[in-house]
Chain A
Amino acid sequence: GQQLNQSPQSMFIQEGEDVSMNCTSSSIFNTWLWYKQEPGEGPVLLIALYKAGELTSNGRLTAQFGITRKDSFLNISASIPSDVGIYFCAGQRGGSNYKLTFGKGTLLTVNP
């Protein structure tokens, strides 16, 4: 089935550092989404991208929809301890295909 390759699997960084993670696919998606999951909670949407090349920010988070529509990245600037969690990318084909395909997640640990 459809797969998204998300990397890295985990990151250990110091507070204040910038973070970058990405997702790639062998197939095209029309929508890319980035979610964050904290312990004991469900994933929460951070950023949604709907157009190839789109660059969108949400506070210290910036995500881009790759030109080829087969990849996306998420950057977090000046990390803080509450950034800790698992970050998931998800792709959606669009049209009549509602399904989300999720990456396996990036576990982020921020050392104060």
Chain B
Amino acid sequence: DADVTQTPRNRITKTGKRIMLECSQTKGHDRMYWYRQDPGLGLRLIYYSFDVKDINKGEISDGYSVSRQAQAKFSLSLESAIPNQTALYFCATSEGHDTQYFGPGTRLTVL
């Protein structure tokens, strides 16, 4: 079984809809991250969490919110989706400052 799972893997939605992407990990890591990937732009950090009570904005947090429901779960929400939020979204985990391990990604399309 995969250590980092993301649901859904693909989602098509309409402008203005609220969307939640979920991430779960079985690695026991304390830190979790949400990234966005756009063609030609690499990976950009949206939010990160060092533990259940800690949430921090990344470089592109506008239009997004997160919730760390438990050590193993970190969800990303788009309160009112817009077309330029169409992208691949990746969750990652790490133990302290150590290497980050990525989930398989969610492909989100906002029409």
Task: State the A residues within 8 Å of B (CB).
Answer: 1, 6, 33, 35, 40-45, 48, 88, 92, 94-95, 98-100, 102-105
Contacts and interface: CB of A to CB of B under 8 A. Distances in A.
Nearest to A96: B97
Contacts of A94: 97
Contact of A41 (B42, B94, B105): B105
Interface of B: 4, 31, 40-45, 48, 50, 58-59, 90, 92, 94, 96-97, 99-105
Given A88-B43, A102-B43, A42 B99 contact: no
Contacts, number: 48
Contacts of A6: 42
A45 to B, nearest CB: 6
A98 B97 contact: yes
Contacts of A99: 45, 48, 58
* Main DSSP-derived SS at the B contact region: strand
Contacts of B45: 99-100
* Main DSSP-derived SS at the A contact region: strand
19 contacts: A1-B59, A33-B99, A35-B102, A40-B104, A40-B105, A41-B105, A42-B92, A43-B43, A43-B90, A45-B99, A45-B101, A88-B43, A95-B97, A98-B50, A98-B94, A98-B96, A100-B100, A102-B43, A102-B44
B42 A104 contact: yes
A104 B40 contact: yes
Contacts of A45: 99-101
A92 B97 contact: yes
A35 B31 CA distance: 19
A13 B58 CA distance: 36
B11 to A, nearest CB: 15
B102 A42 contact: yes
Contacts of B42: 6, 88, 102-105
A11 to B, nearest CB: 16
Most buried by B among A44, A95, A102: A102
B6 to A, nearest CB: 8
